[in-house]
Structure 1
Amino acid sequence: MPAALALLLVLAAAPAPPLPGGTAAGTLTGRVTDERGQPLDEVRVIVVEAQRSTVTAGDGRYRLDGLPAGTFGVAFNRVGYAPAVRRVTIGDSVVTLDVVLRATAVELPEVQTSASPLASTTLTSPQNVAVLGGRELTGALAPTLGETVAALPGLRSWSTGAGIGKPVIRGLGGNRVLTVEGGVRTETQQWGDEHGPNVEVADAARIEVIKGPQSVLYGSDALGGVVNVVPRDLPDAIGTRPTGRVRALVGYGSNNRSPDGTLILEGASGHVGARVTATGRTAQDVRTADGPLANSGLDAVNGSAAVGWRGRWGSVSATLTRRGERVEIHEDPAADPGATPFQRITDTRLRFAGMATLGGTSRLEVNLGWQRNLRREFEAEGDTEDDVAAGLDARQWLGEAHYHHAPIAGRVVGTVGAQATHSPFDRFGPERLIPVNRSTATGIFAFEEADVGRWHLAAGLRFDWRQLDVDSGANGRATREILVPAQRRTWTALTGNLGALYRVSDPVAVVLNVGRGFRAPNPFELYAYGVHEGTQEFLIGTPTLANETSLTTDLALRVQSRLVRAEVGGYLTFVDRFIYAQPTDQFDDDPADPEASGLREFVSAQADARLWGLEASVDVHPREWLEVVAGLDYTNATNTERGEPLPYIPPFRATYEARLTATRSRFLPWVSLGGETNARQSRPNPFELAPGVPVMDGYTLLQAGTGVVLPARSGVVTVDLVARNLLDARYVRWMSRFREYALDMGRNVVLRVGAEF
């Protein structure tokens, strides 16, 4: 914290570099009114890509000076009104943008920035994007990213207890879903079920989820979709007095006695803004309706520091994030009742971002990132760093550049970009499941958008090259190992997407997307050899695996009116050469091997697959004080070559909630009652459950909550109390790794108090 503030003061004292030729600063000004022409104050106006913002005054007027040249999305947000996004081109002269906001009782997502180069709303974007932000994000917060987003239609969490949760989008998870945090790809979940994305969400501005292939913008691993954890914009004080802000969020969960807390300190002086954050949580053993799960606690500490400079020519920023986790792994008590394995994970990320105008109204954005994920697995409580059973040390260097060209014919905007990554992997400890390796990848792409009357059109094309170099070495345990020779594998892919949105009327739109994605096989699928404790399988990789490629068609109808927000749609995905673990008739049961596990052997295989599904959501305000929310989703997935269901596919689910809010009270007190109903999985893969273990029954979980907003002298305090699994039901999630031998979490009463000053 002292170092960040010192750097802030030094940069604040530095003069802004002059623009070549003495060009005048760009200015955006205007007035925001309602549908009756009355001015609206306290509207937040955000020039999204420039990360500049202000609020309207009492007469509805706003002004932002010192903006860089270029084409940007400008977002207008105010509680009680539908958000609006307009695209403007900033040059050397003053640009006036007046906006009329439409009143709405439904709270709508502000903007999305993940599925296109320029910001848009969900009503104006052809891509299928879900946004979780504001109090919805606070209410959904969980220790893992997967569990936090699991309630969104089409999403689930593939979990290993309370400490590990991997996002699943429309039945696809693991390395088929890319996680991005602060512009940096996180590639830490490719080693199996017990390895999730190590990302903190408590200090995020919002989470954006793209459903469907997004390889054009993100490359490999975005075959099923993208989960983008978007950080808060750094503050600025250009043209105003220095400013500072404090945000705090504390919580407590009754089930596993889990306190957590987040503190955010930020400030700005002139062109410079800075922020530091700290988050910590701890939890004891999870308690089910049948009792506690031994060895299921967790501890996590996350901290970050960021500093940035903004000016007429562009912006620069640097962010450092460090995270430490200790996660206990509950094992089958029938197999090993005294087992106490655990993991320690240290994740460090550094990001540099810059944006510069290039003359006219074009601009260049550059991101440079570095990440190290150090994972150590231990067999028993009390083990030290000298007792590591398996160590995984993954590093990544990332560089990408996006050139945003000037509008073509006044209506076509887009970007041309390039991306490169280099990811070395090392291992240590006696368990050697995959060899030492290094992967290098590059990609070039173009993405364009245009508004033509009632149509919004989008198209993209990308070429990727990926290379994997493997060092010679032994895989497996000392009593059963193989020698992997040094080798090199190379893959290429051509991907693209076409999207169209047709505005039937102001609140109604029809969207159609066709996209092609790809995923290169990871070292785990190619070269694994040995027992994987997470899946209880003896895994054998196949070095000759080819790319997975997909073709997805997505059709949806969207409605966003004053009283209703609704979306219903369906999708059809064909995946060529889908990679999966194929069971064999062989077992790791050599009587002469004292370390034989007795587990079935599984070999990495490929086959064509088909997935189709339905999603629907509705948010209705039949009265000013009453909100009713409901949703459903279903995925059907088949290995078309073998004629059997794909494994790890979630069953049908319906969610529902009614919320009453005293909207005319300054404290906005609310109460809610809702729940979710999960059907029995009627199409399990034959090898998903151990012999003799039945498919779990469907179940319903109820949830109740209440909360209040307490205005303070210079800020606001929120208090929320939510009881999850209200009736302490006995149930097992299909997407839980414990499903064969343990129930899921029982009743959990969560208290959260937030403050902002």
Structure 2
Amino acid sequence: MKLKLISCFLFLFIQISAFASANNITGKVIDAKTGESLPGSVINIPELHISVGTNNNGEFTLKSVPAQGRFVVQVQYVGYKTLTQTVDFSTTKPLVFALEQSIIEAHEVVITGTPVTASSKYNSTSAAVVNKDQLMGTSTNLIDALAKQVPGVSQITTSQAISKPVIRGLSYNRVVTLSDGVKQQGQQFGDEHGIEIDQFQAARVEVLRGAASLMYGSDALGGVINVIDPPTPAEGNIKGEILDNYSTNSGLSNTSIMLSGNEDGFVWRGRGTYQNAHSFKTPVGYYQNSGFNQTDFSGMLGVNKAWGYSHLNFSYFKNNIGFFDADPGNELYNNSTSRTLEYPRQDVRHYKLALNNNFLFGTGSLKLDLGFQKNQRRELEDNPVPSLFFDLNTYSVDAKYFLPESNGWKPVIGASWSLGHSVNKGEELLIPAYDEYSAGTFVYLKKTWEKSTFSAGARFDFISNNGKALQKEGEQVFAGFDNKFTNVSGALGYTHVFNDYLSFKANAGSAFRAPNPAELGSNGVHEGTNRYEIGSAGLNPERSYQTDATLEYGSGIITGSFGIYENYIHNFIYASNTNNEQITVTDEGSGADRNLDVYRYGQVNANLYGLEGNLTIHPVSFLHFENTFGYTYAQNKTFDRPLPLIPAGSLHNTLRFEPKIKGLTDFYTSIGIDNYFKQTRIDATFETPTDAYTLLNAGIGTTFKLGSQPLKVYISGNNLTNKKYYDALNRLRPGRYSQEDPTFGVYNPGRNITFGFYLPFGTNK
């Protein structure tokens, strides 16, 4: 019945929207100073998922676009400052975009993950954008790539295949990840699994730092990672790409192929990616059974018309990951480079369908995203039959109606709904089977004057968590729980553009996070962490009160930003081991007893504040000195001690040299230093301090022409001195969970050199 209602709803909107009138808009991109045309420029309209390139005369045509409405248009050309402009599509005159030469190409970017799509200058959210080129290189997954690029972003790592995002010191269910417009729903509560997204599917990634509950409801206390697929090609065109790289440290090979097309508004895209790696090498040896292999398939079918667009996205993600289960006296390292995964290992699969729609009604529009996800996590101890098996199915609807602009005011109303159903299919149990239901609605207003922008919003949420009681062999395993939570959130934002170079933004607001089923009902061995976890059904929602402010500057010589933030969280939830509590557990397979530390979920009041920023100096056009830094100070206010799992302060410096060489395009060479400071602010009940360390990195690359198609080749190296170190968020470092467990005490990866190429291709009719 639900599917029938949704189908009728969509059919009705498509029929109504079919009467929307279409328009063809022509234009030209020129040099602002000389008036010369700029062939190969890219015109992108994020709200319509349209991208088109200019021909040899610098001309372009946008076919079958809406005949009315105002849309943000972004124009880019290598060596020129990116132009972001709002265009009235009712115009009958050809558009002319005049670009200024600049060594800064992307100081001003468009942000789509906020209620109103806008240039970053007029968006109060602290945001960073990572593009396709930056996502390639020595990273092993999406989060690893972001942590190396964005100030304020870190990662909790387990081996090389698993990274969990950390934004301003917050992680797990406090960071929302979006893909295909749908909140990623997996097993975010746990340490030992990452984000089930193909890192190569993204054309770019937006990282929104700071509370975002207004738009995304529960869980967005720390921020949002918005993974954005490539825009569809212009009508009659086909676009594609092939990329491949190989890394020496773990023999990691990545291969990804994508093809996309547009024929009379019928659009499609397909991608396949495969990754394979043996155990990674530390400066003292290969960490046993730490290899992985990953297979990803994704695709899209849809239509782009004058009434908007409707895209059906589908994806399949499968990751096999090896783990090393050490006994006392076992060696952690060996010299094996076998790609065969031994037991124990993990088998993670994620299936997703997402129907993304944007229906245009005159100068208003409705964005409607429908999603279904199946997340399966299997833990295999000593045979292919999973000992632990979580199977989570999630259905979601997210709707936002953008009312027509009036006197400069842009109002938005929205509603969301989701239903999650999780069952246990294995013999081992950690959390109970559960049903999770959530619903929310929000209102948002934005007003832009000549130099200033003001925004405000409010949201109401309702969440219900129902955990199923369970008895096994006459003993109670799970008591069950039935919790209902409500919350009202609010947000205020302000931006001011002083001139073309200097701008300011600030935010204040509240956010919340409902306790997840693991925190409410855990009662069992969490194998990935080698601890026994016990939940508490009486937990209250976390409530966050946050402020931040950022100053941004961009000229021909210096670009940068500096931001400060504070986030006070009432009823912050985390698990801790108190009074050295332990429990004896008998292994069902071997019959052996083992003593495990008991971690109980509880609540405290916490305060996190810090600073982040970046500074790039361009003394001449071919030289760039890039610097990013971030630091978070987090305090457990209830017990007057540091909050656990907080990243160390970091400073990244990169010198990039881009000389003009005849016959080569975009040639560069770089050298960088990553500085990580001591982390002595730890929760001493289960953490140990980490020392400061410095890593040396370098890279070189260029682009060749194969006929009319570019071929980018590159070599990049990380930790070139083979430095022996522990990162503060490395889950395998000593004392991370247990002072005596031999599994922990594994250094971070040593020297790694990556060789790769990237070949985009296609037509430009």
When the two structures are superposed, what TM-score results if normalisation uses the length of structure 2?
Answer: 0.90
1:194 maps to what in 2?
192
Amino acid paired to 1:492: T
State the Cα distance separating 1:484 from its structure 2 match: 3.1
Identity of aligned residues (%): 28
How far does residue 574 in structure 1 lie from its aligned partner after superposition? 0.4
Q: Shift in Å at residue 61 of structure 1?
A: 4.5
Pick closer, same or farther for the CA change 1:199–1:590 going to 2, 3 Å.
closer
Letter in 2 for 1:105: I
Alignment of 1:12-411 (within 5 A): 24-36=21-33, 38-41=35-38, 42-57=40-55, 60-68=58-66, 69-91=68-90, 94=92, 97-108=95-106, 111-139=109-137, 141-237=139-235, 242-332=236-326, 334=328, 340-358=343-361, 360-380=362-382, 383-384=383-384, 387-409=385-407, 411=408
The reply to whether residue 568 of structure 1 matches residue 568 of structure 2 is no
Residue 751 (str. 1) matches residue 755 (str. 2): yes
Relative to 1, partners in 2 of residues 1:597 and 1:562: Cα closer, same or farther, differing over 3 Å?
A: same
- Rounded Cα–Cα distance in structure 2 between residues aligned with 1:283 and 1:500: 47
Q: Is the 8 A contact 2:73 2:85 kept in 1?
A: yes
Distance in 1 (alpha carbons) for counterparts of 2:289 and 2:599: 28
Residue 425 of structure 1: aligned partner: 422
Deviation, structure 1 residue 97: 4.7
Q: CA deviation at 1:98?
A: 4.0
1:145 alignment partner, SS class = helix
Deviation sequence 1:541-572 (CA, Å, 0-9, x none): 01011111111111111012223220011111
Question: Is the 8 Å Cα contact of residues 52 and 233 (structure 2) preserved in structure 1?
Answer: no
How many corresponding residue pairs?
Answer: 723
1:502 aligns with 496
Structure 2: distance between partners of 1:369 and 1:665: 50
Residue 664 of structure 1, CA deviation:
5.4
Question: 1:720 is matched with which residue: 683, 696, 714?
Answer: 714
How do 1:578-657 and structure 2 match up within 5 A?
Answer: 578-585=572-579, 587-590=581-584, 596-657=593-654
Q: 1:24 to 1:389 in 2, by over 3 A?
A: closer
- Correspondence for 1:4: none
How far does residue 333 in structure 1 lie from its aligned partner after superposition? 5.7
**Match of residue 539 from structure 1:** 533
8 Å CA contact 1:585–1:600 kept in 2: the answer is no
**2:4 corresponds to:** none
Match of 1:415 in 2: 412
Residues 322, 591 of structure 1: CA spacing in aligned structure 2 closer, same or farther, 3 A cutoff?
closer
User: Equivalents in 2 of 1:505, 1:665: separation in Å?
Assistant: 37
CA separation of 1:333 and 1:745: change in aligned 2, threshold 3 A: farther
Question: What is the distance in 2 between the residues matched to 1:601 and 1:364?
Answer: 49
Match of 2:737 in 1: none
- Aligned to 1:599, the other structure's residue is in SS state strand
How far 1:133 moved relative to its partner?
Answer: 0.3
Which string of whole-angstrom CA distances, capped at 9 and with x for unpartnered residues, describes residues 120-151 of structure 1?
33333211011100322223642343454344
Q: Whole-Å Cα distance in 1 between the matches of residues 371 and 432 of structure 2?
A: 25
Q: 1:133 to 1:428 in 2, by over 3 A?
A: same
* Separation (CA, whole Å) in 2 of partners of 1:600 and 1:663: 60
TM-score with structure 1 length normalisation? 0.91
Q: 1:733 and 1:681 mapped to 2: Cα distance?
A: 9
**1:342 and 1:377 in contact (8 A); partners too:** yes
Q: 1:284 to 1:697 in 2, by over 3 A?
A: same
Distance in 2 (CA, whole Å) between partners of 1:138 and 1:292 is 24
- 1:453-481 CA distances to partner (integer Å, 9 max, x unpaired)? 21022222211111112222148xx79x6
SS at match of 2:315: strand
Match of 2:11 in 1: none
Partners of 2:703 and 2:732 lie apart in 1 by 39
Report the residue type matching 2:601 in the other structure: S
Is the 8 Å Cα contact of residues 234 and 307 (structure 1) preserved in structure 2? Answer: no
Tell me the amino acid that sits aligned with residue 322 of structure 1.
Answer: Y
Between the aligned partners of 1:313 and 1:679, the Cα distance in structure 2 is 53
The residue number in structure 1 matching 2:730 is: 736
- d(CA) in 2 for partners of 1:148, 1:568: 19
- Counterpart of 2:321, as a letter, is V
- For the Cα contact (< 8 Å) 2:130–2:146, is it kept in 1? no
**Secondary structure of the residue that 1:204 maps to in structure 2?**
coil
1:548 alignment counterpart: 542
Give, in whole Å, the separation in 1 of the partners of 2:143 and 2:551.
28
Do residues 530 (structure 1) and 529 (structure 2) align?
no
Residues 140, 148 of structure 1: 8 Å contact kept: no
8 Å contact kept, 1:463–1:492: yes
Query: CA 1:747–1:273 in 2, change beyond 3 Å: closer, same or farther?
Result: same
* Partner-residue secondary structure (3-state), 1:669: strand
Of 254-263 and 133-142, the range deviating more from structure 2: 133-142
1:141–1:202 Cα contact (<8 Å) kept: no
Distance 1:146 1:517, change over 3 A: farther
Q: CA deviation at 1:733?
A: 0.8
- Contact 2:658–2:669 (8 Å) recurs in 1: yes
8 Å CA contact 2:18–2:307 kept in 1: the answer is no
Deviates further, 391-400 or 77-86: 77-86
One-letter amino acid of the counterpart of residue 649, structure 2? F
The 1:617/1:20 distance shift into structure 2, 3 A limit, reads closer
Q: Is the 8 A contact 2:577 2:686 kept in 1?
A: no
**Alpha-carbon displacement from aligned partner over 1:202-227 (angstroms, at most 9, x marks no partner):** 12101111000011111111111011
Separation in structure 1 between the aligned mates of residue 223 and residue 700 of structure 2, nearest angstrom: 33
In 2, the alpha carbon distance for the partners of 1:57 and 1:236 equals 12
Q: Which amino acid aligns with 1:720?
A: Y
Question: Cα–Cα, structure 1 residues 108 and 714, in superposed 2: closer, same or farther, change >3 Å?
Answer: same
Native 8 Å contact 2:233 2:239 kept in 1: no
Secondary structure at the aligned position of 1:526 is classed as helix
> 3-state SS of the aligned residue for 2:120?
coil
For 2:586 and 2:268, the matched residues in 1 are separated by 62
AA matched with 2:77:
R
Distance 1:143 1:330, change over 3 A: farther
In 2, Cα distance between the equivalents of 1:21 and 1:573?
47
Task: Please state how far the C-alpha of 1:437 moved relative to its aligned partner.
Answer: 0.6
Q: CA RMSD in A?
A: 2.3
Alignment equivalent of 2:445, drawn from 445, 448, 456: 448
Structure 1 window deviating more from structure 2 (577-586 vs 632-641): it is: 577-586
The aligned residue for residue 3 of structure 1 is: none
Q: Gapped runs of 5+ residues in structure 2?
A: 1-13, 333-341, 735-744
2:190 aligned partner, one-letter code: G
AA paired with 2:652? Answer: T
Give me the whole-angstrom Cα distance separating, in 1, the residues matched to 2:281 and 2:409: 55
Distance 1:663 1:244 in 2: 31
1:473 counterpart = 2:470 = yes
SS of 1:440's equivalent in the other structure is strand
Q: Deviations over 1:323-371 (max 9, x none)?
A: 111011234564765994210011110111222222x211111111111
Distance 2:218 2:599 in 1: 25
Amino acid at match of 2:398: E
Q: Are the equivalent residues in 2 in contact too, given 1:669–1:707 (CA < 8 A)?
A: yes
CA deviation digits over 1:720-753, x for unaligned, max 9? 1011110111111111111111111010010111
Which deviations, in whole Å up to 9, do the C-alpha atoms of 1:9-48 show, x marking residues without a partner? xxxxxxxx99889764234444444442614423222222
Aligned residues of 2:481 and 2:537 also touching (Cα < 8 A): no
Q: Secondary structure at the match of 2:697?
A: strand
